[in-house]
Structure 1
């Protein structure tokens, strides 16, 4: 992964200011080389490189051999070796060595097939790319269908500017934070697409393609990669009627393509590592990596509080696959160090505290000399992995019955979740209790979903996150055969796009590490999206396909334990060792919050925390805001 930037400028601003800001903020995304090219007197493209392959021939910005296209590219084309074979038949022998870079392969495919066909049909990977077409005199920017790599842009009367990070744009244009947007972001993990905390600066969405010509005319369109087209791709499970196939055959087919995908994603000339939390997804990724590597190093974070610590399970998997396992314990002092350097990692207030352990472990991976780490991100969203799906499915079933029967069922559920040994995480247990207290039996399934995903469920001015799935072009819109599919779509459009991918990219890039996510590979994703939710929830289990596959390697006992997630023992820390640090950052947040209602609510949260309630999820966005604000004022 790298960092890219560009500026089409008809104003009197000095381009050097933008270059300096881009260099400073992209140095960790691309530590190996920083370069830029003036394509003409008003347009420049630039690139900060993290070299993975083809170091000698991968210098960017890169111009096509035919001279028509100039490109800056961030990401990885996983099938570039396959694409390279077809290029070898059409390229001169003097140019063959140049094809060692996946970017060069991509650029030459542009020359042969054009922009949209290359992106929609040929390139499989995680990427964002900016292309200048000298013939048509226009810029095209596009990303993959999940938008794994961030890109921000701003269009003005006399400029168009883009960058892999947000702050170089805001600093160059001298834009102050938008307070209304800032207040809104406190109610969610971060700002809802396409907006950012800076007015006029937007984020490129999943599967989005934008075009800007020399007159600053702006067009946007959405595309779907052919991998997700059930008529054209055999890997899409709809194409082989998976709903009518025995579960075992779906499982066997998934194992086949998962094994192939992991093998394809392993680079030839770089050693790789894996995040291993001990959960289902990271364990599967590590197992299949180990099958293809002579020695795999795995990494995990452990927590002082046993209620949150899954490191024992990570050790079990590491022993099974014989990986060289690295385990690091995180303490409150590590959290302070990370959060006090907030904008070195991320450019906006971010309401998910798992950014902290993620940043912590990537630093440790970097210290061992790795540039590439594999992760299990995306497995929960694509394969129905969250515990809430079981209760949402239950609520849909309960909708068929009269109120008095639903009330009886809610009473039974309340008794079940009060039993300590019932297989529930602390977080889902707490939120289900909240749902019951708020009239679970009278709620629609969408109301229950919204309550289960909220961080600030006590605040009566929150926005309904379900609406965000309407704002994002989704490759999943045609798959809304049921409410359950709709909930998954919302999790992909909201939680994965707005949270998981932002966290993983920011945390890994802060340590100059490329993260690779096999579950978002088009082959795997198209398979998962095509399966009916009843297949995914076979025998009423969440993500059955993944669990049964893991069971075949590690046994049944391993998959029946509760999911803890990558969570800190934050409530305890905020009550004890981090209490004064928390209040200092909340005071900083209060200084820019304009809503008296929100400030009153914040004070109530602190009282609840100190009374022993679990409210760290609701407090963290305010703490994050305070850390962010103090950093940008420096």
Structure 2
């Protein structure tokens, strides 16, 4: 696992540019603390930089940037290719293998590119990655990202120059960085809690889309002129998988998933450095830890973060699972104060507003795990693949049955909303400050959200509206428009998909890459810890996409098929309990110890200085929240995160 950065200036790269690339690279030292590399072709105007976290082939033979033996390609790469040994063997059988200098996956990638081309090599590769490839023959730079977006890559267009890096903090080191805030991106963050690709918080800077290759040449130096190729398309994969639906029994499906997951875990346990697993005691992490232990001749290192607050603590459940499996279990207990004190450091970790409160415990468990291991496997992505979130089932219930039934339910809600609306106008007319815990203005916004939520043509549109932080979030950022996810219409247009399939697939291409995977990558790599996600093995994903709803929810329960797999390794009595989030008591903190900081962030002076959010609406939501409106807690937390970030980074 590593950090990559670089520059492309077609008019030539000077020693000064090498110094800029070095500054970008060294802003990523936390991503690769073992070694640093730099390569420059001055005449071509390309500089590639690399920070290395040595995982496979820790010798100098794995150092980057790495050149192909033919001299055509130079690669700076971040990630792991889990099937690189199979690819290496195939190249040898074809007579296309070079004289190997070591046993790194980087060397195999380069040999594959020389034989098959980049796109075909990436289609063959099973792994997570972000890479920059210079082609000396075509004088072009190609940037690529893995299928699901596990590894990040940001690209900036700076006055005829391209700069790229694993994290935004590196690009902020560029002398021409301007840091102009993208107001529409901020509105998106307030809508979702994160900023979906391709946007970032800053104008002129984009996130590369998962599964894509972007090629930049001297004649194509702006984003609208880059050649973008999809070597892997999630929609095409889903259509193909559903065209070949799994038609076996539930028992056969459980057996097949067990085999696929074991194979994935086995591949992802390849490492030349110490390796372990996160273990919360829930279904997903327990499945991964159980399979790891069944494949290991020695106790696997497992890591759990516990809190003294019993309402949020799961450490006791994890310990029971670890004891049953026989892992070498490690747990650490932290107070809420210790976690809360990290809130102000999060803008430095995430570089743009990111309002998922589970970033804090993820950061802490990663820091703890790094004391013993360099690689940790996690159970992320199981909820999106196997319908684990309750919100999927909620939308499926509301959108099942005939169109008439759906319309009837929508009209009923509309009637109820109209009845409540009758309270709003009189309250405003007579100057009443509150109706219950809400101001009239806040209640009117809520009613508009309700009407918009059900005035929709498809289940996936209703899902996206219902499970945003605030459907009217754009009103908080003057000059912006309501904007849904770019893939929403594509998902809604898919015919023959159930409401459950539509909602979970939208999360697979939206929430998973832009929230969950961002959270895990930044939190772990802040401590030079590599994380791996066995559920995102392409074969596992394809199988999940092929399953009919009754198999995914085997036995009528969320993640029913996965529970049946886990039951083979761990008794249900140790893990069968209501799902808990890996979060923090953010609302309580905002009303308690974080209140002075929140008041500062929401003060007229700070709001005016940052000049992004609408002061009147911010104060309206903040006042309603303080008066007891619990339903505004998430949007208030998001506003707090946005303000905290903008006061730290804007104009930097």
TM-score range, shorter-chain basis? 0.7 to 0.9
- Partners of 1:187 and 1:451 lie apart in 2 by 9
- Partners of 1:154 and 1:590 lie apart in 2 by 28
Match for residue 469 of structure 1? 487
> What's the CA shift for 1:479?
8.4
> What's the CA shift for 1:317?
1.1
Q: In 2, are the aligned partners of 1:142 and 1:208 still within 8 Å (CA)?
A: yes
- Partners of 2:41 and 2:606 lie apart in 1 by 43
Residue deviations 1:392-446 (CA, integer Å, cap 9, x gap): 1111225555479749999xxxxxxxxxxxxxxxxxxxxxxx99x9589966544
Match for residue 63 of structure 1? 67
Q: In 1, are the aligned partners of 2:12 and 2:46 still within 8 Å (CA)?
A: no
Q: In 2, are the aligned partners of 1:373 and 1:514 still within 8 Å (CA)?
A: yes
Q: TM-score, normalised by structure 1?
A: 0.86
- Partners of 1:145 and 1:598 lie apart in 2 by 40
Match for residue 125 of structure 1? 127
**1:88 and 2:106 correspond:** no
- Partners of 1:480 and 1:339 lie apart in 2 by 44
Q: In 1, are the aligned partners of 2:22 and 2:38 still within 8 Å (CA)?
A: no
Return closer, same or farther for 1:92/1:571 CA change in 2, 3 Å cut-off.
closer
Q: In 2, are the aligned partners of 1:345 and 1:506 still within 8 Å (CA)?
A: yes
Residue deviations 1:9-28 (CA, integer Å, cap 9, x gap): 23899414523431332010
Match for residue 554 of structure 1? 570
> What's the CA shift for 1:297?
1.4
> What's the CA shift for 1:190?
2.2
Match for residue 580 of structure 2? 564
User: Which of the numbers 548, 551, 557 marks the counterpart of 1:535?
Assistant: 551
Match for residue 430 of structure 1? none
Match for residue 442 of structure 2? none
Residue deviations 1:210-242 (CA, integer Å, cap 9, x gap): 1112333521121227998599xxxx8658641
User: Which of the numbers 217, 221, 230 marks the counterpart of 1:222?
Assistant: 230
- Partners of 2:210 and 2:619 lie apart in 1 by 33
Return closer, same or farther for 1:46/1:190 CA change in 2, 3 Å cut-off.
same
Match for residue 8 of structure 2? 8
Q: In 1, are the aligned partners of 2:264 and 2:537 still within 8 Å (CA)?
A: yes
- Partners of 1:336 and 1:528 lie apart in 2 by 37
Within a 5 Å distance, the mapping from 1:245-324 to structure 2 comes to 245-293=248-296, 294-324=298-328
- Partners of 1:108 and 1:531 lie apart in 2 by 36
Q: In 2, are the aligned partners of 1:343 and 1:628 still within 8 Å (CA)?
A: yes
Match for residue 518 of structure 2? 502
- Partners of 2:121 and 2:233 lie apart in 1 by 10
SS in 1 for 2:120: helix
> What's the CA shift for 1:314?
1.2
Residue deviations 1:23-71 (CA, integer Å, cap 9, x gap): 3320100111111110233111111111101122111110011111111
Return closer, same or farther for 1:339/1:63 CA change in 2, 3 Å cut-off.
same
SS in 1 for 2:138: coil
Within a 5 Å distance, the mapping from 1:19-58 to structure 2 comes to 19-41=21-43, 42-56=45-59, 57-58=61-62
Return closer, same or farther for 1:84/1:581 CA change in 2, 3 Å cut-off.
same
> What's the CA shift for 1:391?
1.3
> What's the CA shift for 1:531?
1.7
Return closer, same or farther for 1:357/1:609 CA change in 2, 3 Å cut-off.
farther
- Partners of 2:234 and 2:467 lie apart in 1 by 32
For structure 1, list consecutive stretches of 5 or more residues without a partner in the other structure.
411-433
> What's the CA shift for 1:454?
1.8
> What's the CA shift for 1:514?
0.6
> What's the CA shift for 1:245?
1.2
Within a 5 Å distance, the mapping from 1:94-133 to structure 2 comes to 95-96=99-100, 98-120=101-123, 122-133=124-135
- Partners of 1:320 and 1:464 lie apart in 2 by 50
- Partners of 2:185 and 2:482 lie apart in 1 by 17
Match for residue 212 of structure 2? 208
Q: What do you get for the CA RMSD once the two structures are aligned? A: 3.4
For structure 2, list consecutive stretches of 5 or more residues without a partner in the other structure.
414-445
Match for residue 193 of structure 2? 189
> What's the CA shift for 1:558?
4.7
- Partners of 1:408 and 1:344 lie apart in 2 by 47
Aligned length: 602
**1:450 and 2:453 correspond:** no
Match for residue 148 of structure 2? 146
Q: Which has the higher mean CA deviation after the structures are superposed, 131-140 or 603-612? A: 603-612
- Partners of 1:373 and 1:287 lie apart in 2 by 14
User: Which of the numbers 526, 530, 537 marks the counterpart of 1:521?
Assistant: 537
Match for residue 619 of structure 1? 636
Match for residue 326 of structure 1? 330
> What's the CA shift for 1:129?
1.4
> What's the CA shift for 1:493?
2.2
